[in-house]
Amino acid sequence: MAPSSSKAQHFLTRHRRGITTAIVVLSTGFAVTAFGIAPLAPDAAQLPRRVITESVTPENLEAQVDALGSQLMQLVRNDVTRGTDSPDALLARLGVRDAAAASFLRSDPTARKLLAGRSGKMVQARTREDGRLIELIARYPAEKPEQFKTHFTRLSITHTGNQWASHLETSPLSVQVKLGSGTIRSTLFAATDDARLPDPVAAQLAEIFATDLDFHRELRKGDTFSVVYEALTADGEPIAWNEGAGRVLAAEFVNGGRPHHALWFGNEGGRGGYFGLDGRSKRRMFLASPMEFSRVTSGFAMRFHPILQNWRAHLGVDYGAPQGTPVRSVGDGTVEMAGWKNGYGNVVQVRHDNDRTTLYAHLSRMDVKKGQRVDQGQRIGAVGMTGWSTGPHLHFEFRVRGQHQDPLQVAKASEPITLDAAAKRRFAEVAQQLQAKLDVAETLVGTQGQAE
């Protein structure tokens, strides 16, 4: 048997199933195409008929198989780094059988960054048929904190000829707009999980509509939501950190049959806020909560005190949260106190306009000092369990002229921000585009899904 014939026979034997599958798929593709086009044509029985006979000489099959056999196959696999990984363990998981590659990962200063620091780096390996590494690319958060939400780090390790090379660079994340919707069965997070939406989207929904409804007390079974949001990708791959979610661009939440809308409107620099369809800002003088969406353990009402063992008025709101959770100022103001206060433990108290004050107690740390000016949303401390506390939580109080008030009701009643005439015209154009996307997202309600 000739060498080329032997080579062809070897290729056919090795890849018989793949070649057979390809022929079936191609045949099926032609059948589907014919099915789709045939109904558009006239009735075949009414067309003139004629028979055309033509001899066809197929190209040499062995030559075609030889050409296929000369192509080098490359395999691509993806995984994420683990805290216990060694170069050998990671490469083995990626299907790489290359001692030289493992040695390079251990010795090259840049390549060693692959397994240094935090785990969870997204890794993609491209290998030859025999498992030798051609290229390995790792993608993970940008090293500079200010670039975390906008950029990513790309670590490339390549093998060309007999040379290994490593390269580190920072590149911008890409944005894809996605749609999602869901129905409340129990909690907001359970509904967004069912709809396969990232947790940051749920947190943003609760934040955006915080002054419209109380997600702890007013959420009802059967409420629905639709959302248009940004999904972040690195080289087209959905990022694993921060759950890949960017900003919510538009949302509708129907609570008890009453719809609430929010649309993002800002400038090219990224500064902006959420507005209703009427152009009124969702942002008020005070935030509804000193933390991002959290679990309320005690509301503004009577409660049984866990330490004093008696019933007494609870003149604030307790937020159960893990130790170290950031605490923020709910409004602009000046720090009136930052220190220890009896059963409150570590306390930060902020004075706002019109004789209004807020108090944040049981803090594990205080990040501001007395007399310091703070902005709405600025971090002022972290959740702890100092003072009279049976577990980590934040005790929050709101006072107007010395009298305790329900923080949520104060936030709802605080003054909104409005757009000027010129901004309203631009907002109307943006609102029309986002409303169209929301209309599409609404069609997904009941399917518990998402779409691009």
The pLDDT tens digits of the residues spanning 165-218 come to 999 999 999 988 889 999 999 888 889 989 888 888 888 898 888 878 877 778
Q: How confident is the model at residue 35 (pLDDT cuts 50, 70, 90)?
A: very low
Cβ density class 298-316: b for 16+ within 10 Å, e for less: bbbeeeeeeeeeeeeebbb
What is the per-residue pLDDT for 391? 85
Q: How high is the pLDDT of residue 211?
A: 77
* Token pair recorded at residue 241: 């950190």
Distance CA 161, CA 170 (A): 26
The pLDDT of residue 9 is: 55
Domains along the chain? Answer: 74-172 (3.10.450.350), 175-284+420-451 (3.10.450.350), 295-413 (2.70.70.10)
Does 99 score more than 90 pLDDT? yes
In whole angstroms, how far apart are CA 312 and each of 101, 284, 315, 318, 434? 68, 31, 9, 14, 48
If pLDDT is split at 50, 70 and 90, which confidence band does 36 have? very low
Question: How confident is the model at residue 222, as a pLDDT?
Answer: 94
pLDDT, tens digit, 9 for 90 and up, residues 328-381: 999 999 999 999 998 899 999 999 998 999 999 999 999 999 999 999 889 999
* Cα gap 211→440, rounded to integer Å: 26
Q: Smallest Cα–Cα separation from 258: which of 209, 194, 216, 186?
A: 209
Half-sphere exposure of 66 (CA within 13 A, CB side): 10
Question: Quick one: 387 exposed, middle or buried, by C-beta within 10 A (0-12, 13-18, 19+)?
Answer: middle
| Amino acid 182: pLDDT | 92
Mean per-residue pLDDT for 24-29?
Answer: 41
Q: Is the pLDDT of residue 104 over 60?
A: yes
Confidence band of 229 (pLDDT split at 50, 70, 90): very high
Mean pLDDT of all residues in the chain? 80
pLDDT for residue 11 is more than 60: no
Question: What confidence score (pLDDT) does residue 406 get?
Answer: 81
Contact predicate 258/276, CB 8 Å: no
**How do beta strands 393-400 and 356-361 pair?**
antiparallel
- Cα–Cα distance between 285 and 332 in angstroms, integer? 8
The confidence score (pLDDT) of residue 95 equals 93
Cβ partners under 8 Å of residue 239, min gap 6? 122, 139, 152, 173, 232, 233
Tell me what pLDDT residue 6 has.
53
Q: Please, are residues 138 and 167 in contact by the beta-carbon 8 Å criterion?
A: no
Q: Which position has the higher pLDDT, 360 or 436? A: 360
Single-letter residue type at 427: F
- pLDDT at residue 105, as a whole number: 95
Quote the pLDDT of residue 415: 60
Residue 74: is its pLDDT beyond 80? yes
* Cβ neighbours around 279 below 10 Å, total: 17
Q: Is 276 exposed, middle or buried (0-12, 13-18, 19+ CB in 10 A)?
A: middle
Instruction: List, for residues 171-181, the tens digit of each pLDDT value.
Output: 999 988 889 99
Instruction: Extract the tokens encoding 221.
Output: 């079974």
Please give the Cα distance from 291 to 383 (Å, whole number): 9
Of residues 179 and 246, more confidently modeled: 179
The tokens of 81 are what? 């780094």
Q: What is the pLDDT of residue 43?
A: 66
- Give pLDDT, residue 293: 65
pLDDT above 70 covers a percentage of the chain that reads 77
Per-residue CA distances from 268 to 52, 272, 276 (Å): 65, 9, 20
- Length of the chain equals 452
Q: Hey, what are 315's tokens?
A: 């003149």
Higher pLDDT, 133 or 27: 133
pLDDT of 431 > 50? The answer is yes
- Give the per-residue pLDDT at 413: 65
Instruction: Measure the CA–CA gap between 245 and 198, rounded to whole angstroms.
Output: 6
